[in-house]
Amino acid sequence: MNVVVIGGGIVGLSSAYALAERGAAVTVCERGHLGAGSTDRAAGGIRAQFSTAVNVDLSVESMAVWEEFEDRFGVDIGYRRHGYLFLAREARTARTLRESVALQRERGVPSEFVDPETAVEHCPGVDAGPFEGGSYSPTDGVADPHLALQGYAEAAREAGATLRTKTPVTAIRRDESGVTGVETPDGALDADFVVNAAGAWAREVAALADVSLPVAPRRRQLAVVAPDPPMPEALPLTIDLDTGSYFRPERDGQALVGGRFAEADPDVDPSRYATSMDVEWAATAVERAASYTTYFGPETRIVRGWAGLYAVTPDHHPILEETRPGLVTAAGFSGHGFQHAPATGRLVAELCLDGEASLVDIGALGSDRFETGETLVERNVA
């Protein structure tokens, strides 16, 4: 079976590897260089603390791969499991965290609801006063997206996949039976399946097959700062859910600071957006973090930062389906594409080679949910 994967980010390469490992003849078409879209600008968070069953399940299956990634792929991705700590200021947010923990534990995640004092034990320096409670899981963590991308790229090549960079797809070929291949500046490629794993460009790619996907590129920013005093590396990634502020330790005492409090442009051109960090935004991010922790004093310095893209759907869940005969969509992960890539790749292979997905129940991730109104609500948004 011939499969063309459009997009050389982490989702596309995980899919290429899973397909090639099962015997498919795979060609990846990437318009730039591998990882040039969202992957190289991702924060690298990996968590199972979600509020919907499908997101938790995608995390659990993916984390099983992340745990053994170095043994399987021979690449140390810097996987550190220092936990995630969610904090709730409002009573209703605390109730949501309790409900989410119950769902997570049913699915094998060792998360727990914690009172403010226990939250401070997990992250000394947090001010317990503003919070009603929180949730914590010790198995959440972070890894290096670029190193993971390299691991998948090499594994896909070794399994027989062809990775073509600087190769945009200019058309998707179809006949009465469905998708039959793609056109590129270097010529046509026949395919039994075409996989749209184009991330922030997924809507444009879908349009080549006369498909309308509600996937919008959204600009998000991160700042690396030097706290005063230096931040201990073993702290969890800590999120103030009600304000959207978050921080986590980096190496050498530095910290990564971000937040969704500064809303990005509602829809940006993924080929033309500012990749540099806005200094005013970074100052606000540090101020927000300083309001509930002792880590960000007046001597904290902003070291560097960057902006990247989320590929966002209206309900902040991906579209993962066979959208048309021969066209599989794996896009719209809304900031969770890196961490869910291992499970997604295997699901894409199942859709192409088995005709249905079995690893995780993805029935709720069809694009028709936006027409029927059966959308999902992820309440643990970070």
Residue 307 phi/psi, 5-degree rounding, is -125, 145
Beta-carbon neighbour count of residue 183 at 10 Å? 15
Distance CA 330, CA 24 (A): 18
Could you tell me the CA-to-CA distances from 374 to 153, 256, 333 in Å, in that order? 36, 36, 17
Q: Assign 263 a pLDDT band (cuts: 50, 70, 90).
A: low
What is the structure's pLDDT at 337?
97
For residue 262, is pLDDT > 70?
no
- Smallest CA-to-CA distance from 167 within 187, 139, 138, 152 is with 187
Here the contacts of 89-92 (C-beta below 8 Å, separation 24 or greater) are 89/130, 89/131, 89/132, 89/240, 89/241, 89/242, 89/243, 90/132, 90/242, 91/132
End-to-end CA distance of the chain: 39
Query: Which residue is it, tokens 């936990």?
Result: 83
Least confident of 121-125, 246-250, 270-274: 270-274
Could you tell me the CA-to-CA distances from 9 to 15, 121, 199, 334 in Å, in that order? 10, 37, 8, 14
Q: Assign 260 a pLDDT band (cuts: 50, 70, 90).
A: confident
Distance CA 55, CA 202 (A): 20
What domains can be seen in the chain, in order of their start residue? 2-50+145-214+314-372 (3.50.50.60), 83-141+216-312 (3.30.9.10)
What is the structure's pLDDT at 159?
98
Q: Would strands 216-226 and 255-259 be described as parallel, antiparallel, or unpaired?
A: antiparallel
For residue 205, is pLDDT > 90?
yes
What are the start-end ranges of the E strands in 90-177? 112-114, 133-137, 141-142, 162-164, 171-175
Instruction: Read off the pTM.
Output: 0.96
For residue 330, is pLDDT > 90?
yes
Average pLDDT, the chain: 96
Distance CA 253, CA 235 (A): 11
For residue 268, is pLDDT > 90?
no
For residue 272, is pLDDT > 60?
yes
For residue 29, is pLDDT > 80?
yes
What is the structure's pLDDT at 207?
98
Residues 6+ apart with CB under 8 A from 34: 8, 9, 13, 149, 153, 163, 165
